[in-house]
């Protein structure tokens, strides 16, 4: 390399706010997506296991679509394709409120919920039938059986894949850059194209991602250890 490294060239008052906006947007996208996707995934899992045929088929279709189409294509489909079918009023509303962010959020939520519900479904299948029967025997209805007996075990069983999915979501927020959300990856490109400091800019952003991912990995293994299902 023929250029000396100089991190002060990008970590000064002029460019620092690029990084800060990037961090802010990445975290906002990540946290909001998770907070909506997780309950949605629980709901999907419960409905799918309820035994109502047409509903479970619909959810199976939903899950398979999101698992077999690239996330980038899902993002582009929402942003360019599906939005064109929205009524004008809705599009006007979205355009006044950070369009790119909303569509990225929408796509990421549906994508993550599909994967998470699949993770929880395999957790659900691992629970023995007698648990359902016991809950029924003491007079619980379907909803009570789920909330008091089954789901508390499901989330412990499916904790490792859920943590993994959370990590995938965290990295997946980077794809929002492709539709113009000013998150970290987008900002890395911005700074790089203004300053020509390729290495410095990518290095700082990669370190930030790595810090976030490692935190999630450690938090995940701590949680998995703490809430391990201890049964015989």
Partner 1 sequence: MLDVVQQYWPYLLFGSYPNGPLGGFTMTLVIAIVSLVLTFPSAVLVALARTSEVRVLEHAAFLFVTIVRGIPLLMLIFWVYFFLPVALGTPISPFWSLILAIVVFQTAYLSEVLRAAIEALPKGQTEAALSLGLSYFPRIWKVTLPQALYNSIPGILNQFTSMIKETSLGYVLAVEELTYAANKVNNFILVKPFSVFALLALTYFAVCFTLTQLVRLLEARIENRFTRVAAA
What does the binding site for partner 1 look like in residue numbers (CB under 8 A)? 1, 3, 64-65, 67-74, 76-77, 80-82, 84-85, 167, 171-175, 177-178, 185, 188-189, 192, 198-199, 202, 205-206, 209-210, 212-214, 217
190 contacts: CB under 8 Å, gap ≥ 6? 18, 182
**Closest distance to partner 1 from the beta carbon of 230 (Å):** 24
Minimal distance, residue 95 CB to partner 1, in Å: 16
Q: What's the half-sphere exposure (Cβ side, CA atoms, 13 Å) at 220?
A: 17
CA distance 114 to 105: 14
Please say which residue, 113 or 205, places its beta carbon nearer to partner 1: 205
Which residue lies nearer to partner 1 by CB, 136 or 171? 171
Smallest gap from Cβ 170 to partner 1, in A, equals 8
The interaxial angle of helices 13-49 and 198-226, nearest 10 deg, is: 40
State the minimum distance, in angstroms, from the CB of residue 86 to partner 1: 10
List, as own/partner pairs, every contact residues 193-201 make where C-beta atoms lie below 8 angstroms and the sequence separation is at least 24, other chains included: 194/15, 195/9, 195/10, 195/15, 197/6, 197/9, 197/10, 199/1, 199/5, 200/5, 200/6, 200/7, 200/9, 200/10, 201/10
Closer CB to partner 1, 27 or 167, in the complex: 167
Compute the least distance from the CB of residue 84 to partner 1, in Å: 5
Nearer to partner 1, 64 or 133 (CB): 64
For residue 158, give the 3-state DSSP assignment.
coil
In this complex, which beta carbon is closest to partner 1, that of residue 100 or of residue 146?
A: 100
């Amino acid at each position: 390399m023929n250029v000396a490294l100089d991190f002060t060239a990008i970590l000064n008052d002029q460019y620092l706010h690029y990084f800060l906006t990037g961090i802010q947007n990445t975290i906002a996208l990540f946290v909001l997506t998770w907070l909506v996707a997780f309950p949605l995934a629980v709901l999907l899992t419960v409905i799918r296991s309820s035994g109502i045929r047409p509903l479970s088929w619909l959810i199976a279709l939903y899950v398979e679509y999101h698992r077999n189409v690239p996330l980038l294509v899902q993002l582009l489909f929402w942003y360019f394709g599906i939005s064109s079918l929205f009524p004008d009023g809705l599009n006007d509303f979205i355009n006044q409120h950070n369009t790119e962010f909303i569509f990225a959020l929408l796509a990421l939520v549906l994508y993550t919920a599909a994967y998470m519900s699949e993770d929880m479904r395999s957790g659900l299948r691992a629970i023995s039938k007698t648990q359902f029967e016991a809950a029924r025997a003491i007079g619980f209805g379907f909803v009570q059986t789920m909330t008091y007996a089954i789901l508390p075990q499901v989330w412990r069983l499916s904790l490792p894949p859920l943590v993994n999915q959370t990590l995938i979501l965290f990295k997946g927020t980077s794809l929002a850059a492709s539709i113009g959300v000013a998150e970290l990856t987008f900002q890395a490109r911005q700074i790089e194209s203004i300053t020509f400091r390729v290495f410095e800019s990518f290095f700082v952003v990669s370190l930030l991602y790595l810090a976030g991912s490692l935190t999630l990995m450690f938090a995940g293994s701590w949680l998995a250890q703490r809430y391990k299902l201890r049964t015989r």
